[in-house]
Amino acid sequence: MMKSLARATALVAVSVLGVTGLSLAPANATAANKTMIVQESNILSGLNTAVNGYNLLTNSNVVGPTGAGFTYYNNKAQLIRNTNFGTFKITRNNCATTSTTDEFGCFSVTYTVKKGLKYSDGTLITAQDLLLSHAISSSDYSKKAGLGDPASDAGSLFDSAGYGGAYDDHTRAESFDISDDNFSLTVKYDAFQPDWQIFGPGPGAVHAMVALAKGKRALQTARTNATYKSLFEDAYYDSIASLPNEDDEDYEDALDSRTAARSLMGKIAKKWSTVWNITTVNSSTNPLLLISNGTFRISECRATDCTLSLNPRANEGGAPKRTGNLEKIIFKMASSISNFSDTSVAQALANGEIDLYSGGSSAAFWSGVSNPELTRFRGNVLTYEHFDLRTGDSQFPIDNVIEGESCDAPYDGPFKGNSQEAKDLRKAFLLLVPRPKLANTYVAKVFDPSATDSPVLNSLFSLTTEGDYSKVVAGSSLYVNDFLKDEATRVNMAKALVAKWSSTPVTVKVLTSTRGSRVDSITQMKILGAQAGFDVVHYTNATLWGVLLDCNNFDAAQFAWVKTGLSQTGTNPQYESDGGNNSAGWSDATMDSLLGEFEKIQTATSLITTKINAEKRLWSNYWTLPIYQWPGASAWNKDLKNIFPSPLAPNVTWNFWSITY
């Protein structure tokens, strides 16, 4: 499952008002107007989290309550079927267990949308609305529909982060079949998919996409919307239609039909990729952008806050039945990441300026929310800090969005490719990451200021709170052990590796957000790097760092991945050559083959073996280094009920339909 980039926060003290952007108010004043104010620790960068560069957690948290689909995760990280939206089941499962070229469609799943559901504009939700999911996730569809090859330099007209991975590998352009009544859709695969339950399509208001492509700036009539849905369906299928022979009398008509279909799909793709990349919503915003099938819909957004109001059709869109009494959710964002302080957030909670917060925390935050007016929670979160090194060009090329940065130029830095020199330099640099110091400071001391020995994270495939973690780490200990040595030993090892290849300092450009822990990390690496033969150049960006992960001019980046779901193939998008989260140009045929094993049926024992084999290859490439698993801390207004923090994101607003005063 796609993951979100972790929220970037800087631990810099500012006034409480600077954090929340609110005037002081009596504690719990929001209960009277049934409004929940949620503090985020990052800025909002856009409203379409599937677009490349916009897969940020704050974006996801804000838009989450505006939608609903076939499943959701509860606070125990259990996948729950949302029968309010519809049902799904396996309708064919006769793939050969030994064949690598199974018959297409030998594994099929049928999804049925509950009849009578409506979007916030009153338009009926049908299986036609599920088609968009495939267009933004299937490379084969994009190529056959004339929208472009997502793996090419030009990419697809759908600037989607959903391409690559198990779903893309095992589906085709023709994988979606709609039933005659327009309420069921069957997805066909060429092999059994262990993660089939989370591969399901989600609804997209395709009538709005057609209206946008036609330049409309107002909601349309029911009759027009029904016509637009049919236009989308026709364009979707006609774009991939085969043409008769050129000497066939129907050739010209068929060609004209396909050309028109591709033209419409191309316009839709361009709109989808751009129109939601906004942070301002007001009375002049095109209402077609705000259509929702969730409990809430976006009514206003500014630089420092975004207001979600109750969808008048809250119980008609397919979200779980609304049992809470919230009428508004206001997400507050820092005016800039650089001046965010979770210490001030604790004070804002105590003052009643905000009602809920969950995110990167400090010892000061944890002690600051020890208040009888607040409920606080400590638990596991499936978020982990890590360090990535670039080896090639991003498959999601971006223009030079920052002056002086050659983002679209081919990567030619010290870590390029898979030569022994590149691997040695990558290992040398990763040896300098001050993992123990960072873990002690930003994990252990959050809950115990006297702690001095917090465990670091030693796996990219299992986290410390997952049952197979110790076995996976033990299996790859040959590589892990070098990174467990004391700092002086690691620096000397790095120095020797650098000296093999260079007699002058090797320059490494590192990208991070302005989060305090990351600034601290690179500050320490500058010192250690100078001892080992590296010249570390630190580049921070408070607003565009997520986009700049695709900038070929940077050699390294430190950030965090946030798990939004659990699956066997969940890590594949990071490490596959064509993976949707692989921005660093990593490419290794052996690694791709090992990752392919996650797409097959596994027992608990065989899955551990598969993880170990992939882990060994990953470590031996020295592409990335895990640092620590984030601590989980949340606090909220005691008058709020049904807050059940989850280890997955969204941590505290996943059950938006039942939160109440």
Is 528 a member of any domain? yes
Decide which of 228, 250, 274 is a domain's last residue: 274
H helix or E strand, kind and range, residue 378? strand 374-389
pLDDT of residue 4: 41
Burial class of residue 223 (count of CB atoms within 10 Å of its CB; 0-12, 13-18, 19+):
exposed
Which tokens sit at 269?
């793709």
- Per residue in 428-487, pLDDT (tens digit) is 999 999 999 999 999 988 888 888 889 999 999 999 999 999 999 999 999 999 999 999
Q: What are phi and psi of 355, to 5 degrees?
A: -110, -20
Q: How many CB atoms lie within 10 A of CB 448?
A: 11
For 77-107, b/e burial (b = at least 16 CB within 10 A) is eeeeebebbbebeeeeeebeeeeeebebbbb
Is 139 a member of any domain? yes
In a shared domain, residues 23 and 141:
no
Rounded CA separation 379/382 (Å): 10
Residues 6+ apart with CB under 8 A from 548: 398, 401, 402, 405, 407, 511, 541, 554
Decide which of 274, 296, 328 is a domain's last residue: 274
Q: How many CB atoms lie within 10 A of CB 624?
A: 20
H helix or E strand, kind and range, residue 308? strand 305-310
- Per residue in 177-215, pLDDT (tens digit) is 999 999 999 999 999 999 999 999 999 999 999 999 999
Rounded CA separation 176/128 (Å): 10
Residues linked to residue 80 through DSSP beta bridges, in sequence order: 72
Helix (H, G, I), strand (E, B) or coil at 509: strand
pLDDT of residue 259: 98
Is 471 a member of any domain? yes
pLDDT of residue 547: 87
Q: How many CB atoms lie within 10 A of CB 335?
A: 15
Residues 6+ apart with CB under 8 A from 580: 2, 160, 161, 162, 163, 164, 165, 573
H helix or E strand, kind and range, residue 429? helix 420-430
Is 400 a member of any domain? yes
How would you write 34-99 as a 3-class SS string? CEEEEECCCCCCCCCCCECCCCEHHHHHHHHHHCCCCEEECCCCCEEECCCCEEEEEEEECCCCCC
H helix or E strand, kind and range, residue 125? none
**Residue ranges in the chain modelled with pLDDT below 70:** 1-29, 97-102, 335-339
Is 505 a member of any domain? yes
Please identify which residue in the block is written with the tokens 């200990």.
477
In a shared domain, residues 226 and 299:
no
Residues 6+ apart with CB under 8 A from 486: none
- What CATH number did the domain enclosing 523 receive? 3.10.105.10
- What CATH number did the domain enclosing 362 receive? 3.40.190.10
pLDDT of residue 549: 93
Decide which of 223, 245, 274 is a domain's last residue: 274
Is 80 a member of any domain? no
Report whether 174 contacts 190 (CB < 8 A).
no
Is 83 a member of any domain? no
In a shared domain, residues 517 and 429:
yes
Sequence letter at residue 466 = E
In a shared domain, residues 406 and 553:
yes
In a shared domain, residues 395 and 493:
yes
The total number of residues shown for the chain amounts to 661
Reported pTM: 0.88
Is 595 a member of any domain? no
H helix or E strand, kind and range, residue 636? strand 624-637
What is the separation of C-alpha 76 from the centre of its chain, rounded to a whole number of angstroms? 20
Which tokens sit at 576?
């596959």
182 backbone φψ class: left, alpha, beta (φ>0; ψ -120 to 50): left
In a shared domain, residues 389 and 453:
yes
Q: What are phi and psi of 617, to 5 degrees?
A: -65, -40
Report whether 554 contacts 180 (CB < 8 A).
no
Please identify which residue in the block is written with the tokens 């596959």.
576
Burial class of residue 468 (count of CB atoms within 10 Å of its CB; 0-12, 13-18, 19+):
middle
- Which residue in 583, 535, 206 sits closest to 398, CA to CA? 583
In a shared domain, residues 196 and 313:
no
In a shared domain, residues 400 and 545:
yes
Please identify which residue in the block is written with the tokens 């197979």.
468
Residues 6+ apart with CB under 8 A from 509: 413, 537, 539, 553, 554, 555, 556
> What angle (nearest 5°) sits at the alpha carbon of residue 71, between those of residues 70 and 75?
160
For residue 406, give its domain range: 382-590+618-629
pLDDT of residue 340: 76
In a shared domain, residues 132 and 186:
yes
* DSSP at 8: P
In a shared domain, residues 359 and 248:
no
> What angle (nearest 5°) sits at the alpha carbon of residue 558, between those of residues 648 and 567?
30
In a shared domain, residues 356 and 286:
yes
In a shared domain, residues 481 and 584:
yes
Q: What are phi and psi of 39, to 5 degrees?
A: -90, 130
Rounded CA separation 559/537 (Å): 16
What is the separation of C-alpha 625 from the centre of its chain, rounded to a whole number of angstroms? 19
Structurally, the chain folds into a number of domains equal to: 3
